[in-house]
């Protein structure tokens, strides 16, 4: 079986790492794989990757989206060129992942898929963008317009940000027309939460299977390092947060409030923050930039006493899996699919910062007591 994967990135970020795992596994079984990505990829000697379009195509698509809310509806030339490559490759299976990210035209792609019913299509949804008129997530605002047709969107200034007015109804109708009518498509979601939403959307005509994300356990495992010593944290209880994008939705304000409620023997380590944000962190919060070194990341997970994911909207975060695999307990809000990868006693109601602090203290106190009584 010949596989063709399509995603915004390869080898980086949660979706890029998931695809890399899938490709390596399939190729080990004798299935050739080709990856088409839109924005960024880490070189991989074992997997052939091609870029859809170029940097100018990406920037042009992003600019049109910013002005007229056309995410997924530009890049016509780049998409046509890519589809010629896909035609020549003649895949048996096309495996879609994130189609947003300013790199591909969804209407041209799905028109091509409808003309090739012999191809099996799998589509792993990592968020809700496929069935909304604009946003990839709506949990924070409790929106349900996507069930009947988006309009009057209140998240136009959120990714994918636009200043060109509300076109959510138009986008919803164009997505529904493009995405429905595929004869042989299987939808996959990493969480039961997203599967339930998908079954309530215009994608309900397709079968939905829940397949939890996995991680590379050869990398993410208890990893000794000098992280504590190098940062002067040998006598501190470390609360860790990891994300590639730190904003209100990911819970950065919540982490900072947690810091205010704890004594000085606790320190919060925030991984993945840009330098401009790190400069604003108060005392007791250590910022570390984004790292592509997975072994280094595993060492940071291992050094922490507790991993906190105060996300307000998420599907099935791989950071929870990575932390747990490194032996670090995960504390998270009861939001989206995040509780599905945490112990029940470590899940607290959304916005219950006091409850999160209480659980953090319990975990750290227990670990400290265990170490003192060894």
> How confident is the model over 102-116, as pLDDT tens digits?
999 999 999 999 999
Q: How confident is the model at residue 369 (pLDDT cuts 50, 70, 90)?
A: confident
CB 301 within 8 A of CB 219: no
Q: Could you tell me where the DSSP H helices lie in the chain? A: 13-28, 55-68, 76-89, 106-114, 168-179, 192-199, 227-230, 252-260, 275-278, 294-303, 318-325, 353-372
With tokens 């490559």, the residue in question is: 85
**Co-location of 206 and 232 in the same domain:** no
220 occurs within a structural domain:
no
Are 336 and 297 found together in one domain?
yes
Query: Is residue 121 over pLDDT 90?
Result: yes
Q: Are residues 200 and 267 in the same domain?
A: no
Residues paired with 12 in a beta bridge: none
On the question of pLDDT at 374 being above 70, the answer is no
Same domain, 204 and 295: no
Q: Which of 13-17, 98-102, 158-162, 187-191 is least confident?
A: 13-17
- Lowest pLDDT segment from 70-74, 235-239, 242-246, 256-260: 242-246
Same-domain pairing of 275 and 351: yes
Flag the least confident range among 71-75, 106-110, 137-141, 354-358: 137-141
Scored b (16 or more CB within 10 A) or e, 81-114 reads: ebbeebeebebebbbbbbbbbbbbbbbbbbebbe
> Do 99 and 165 have their domain in common?
yes
Mean pLDDT of the chain: 96
Domain boundary among 178, 210, 242: 210
Give the domain extent around 328. 227-372
In a domain, 219, yes or no: no
Number of domains in the chain: 2
Decide which of 210, 237, 252 is a domain's last residue: 210
CA 78 – CA 71 distance, rounded (Å) = 14
Q: What is the CATH number of the domain that holds 29?
A: 3.40.50
> Is there a domain that residue 80 lies in?
yes
pLDDT at residue 172 above 70?
Answer: yes
Q: Same domain, yes or no, for 144 and 252?
A: no
Give the pLDDT score at 14. 86
Q: pTM for the whole thing?
A: 0.89
With a cut of 80, say whether residue 372 has pLDDT above it.
Answer: no
Confidence of residue 368 (pLDDT cuts 50, 70, 90): confident
Q: Are 178 and 43 contained in the same domain?
A: yes
CA separation for the pair 278, 281 (Å, rounded): 5
- Which conformational region is residue 115 in: left (phi greater than 0), alpha (psi within -120 to 50 degrees), or beta? alpha
What's the CATH code of the domain at 328?
3.40.50.2000
Q: Are residues 232 and 359 in the same domain?
A: yes
Q: Model confidence over 262-276: pLDDT tens digits?
A: 999 999 999 999 999
Shared domain for 166 and 310, answered yes or no, is no
- Tell me, yes or no, whether 247 and 341 share the same domain: yes
Indicate if the pLDDT at residue 373 is higher than 80. no
């Amino acid at each position: 079986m010949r596989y063709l994967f399509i995603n915004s990135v390869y080898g980086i970020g949660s979706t890029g790492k998931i695809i890399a795992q899938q490709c390596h596994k399939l190729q080990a079984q004798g299935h050739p794989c080709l990856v088409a990505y839109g924005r960024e990829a880490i070189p991989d000697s074992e997997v052939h990757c091609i870029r859809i379009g170029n940097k100018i195509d990406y920037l042009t698509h992003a600019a049109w989206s910013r002005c007229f809310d056309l995410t997924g509806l530009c890049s016509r030339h780049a998409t046509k060129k890519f589809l010629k490559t896909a035609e020549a490759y003649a895949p048996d299976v096309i495996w879609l992942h994130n189609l947003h990210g300013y790199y591909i035209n969804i209407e041209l792609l799905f028109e091509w898929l409808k003309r090739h019913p012999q191809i099996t299509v799998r589509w792993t949804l990592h968020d809700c963008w496929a069935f909304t008129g604009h946003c990839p997530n709506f949990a924070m605002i409790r929106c349900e317009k996507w069930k009947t047709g988006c309009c009057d969107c209140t998240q136009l200034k959120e990714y994918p940000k636009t200043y060109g007015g509300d076109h959510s109804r138009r986008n919803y109708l164009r997505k529904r027309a493009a995405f429905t009518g595929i004869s042989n498509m299987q939808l996959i979601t990493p969480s039961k939460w997203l599967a339930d939403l998908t079954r309530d959307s215009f994608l309900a005509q397709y079968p939905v299977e829940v397949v939890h994300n996995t991680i590379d356990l050869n990398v993410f495992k208890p990893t000794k390092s000098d992280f504590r010593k190098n940062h002067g944290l040998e006598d501190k209880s470390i609360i860790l947060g990891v994300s590639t994008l730190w904003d209100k939705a990911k819970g950065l304000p919540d982490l900072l409030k947690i810091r205010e409620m704890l004594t000085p023997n606790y320190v919060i380590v925030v991984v993945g923050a840009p330098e401009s944000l790190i400069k604003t962190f108060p005392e007791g919060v250590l910022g570390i930039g984004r790292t592509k070194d997975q072994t280094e990341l595993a060492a940071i997970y291992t050094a922490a006493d507790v991993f906190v994911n105060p996300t307000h909207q998420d599907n099935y975060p791989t950071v929870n899996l990575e932390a747990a695999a490194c032996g670090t307990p995960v504390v998270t809000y009861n939001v989206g699919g995040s509780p599905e990868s945490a112990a029940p006693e470590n899940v607290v109601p959304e916005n219950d910062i006091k409850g999160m602090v209480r659980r953090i203290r319990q975990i750290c106190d227990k670990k400290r007591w265990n170490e003192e009584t060894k």
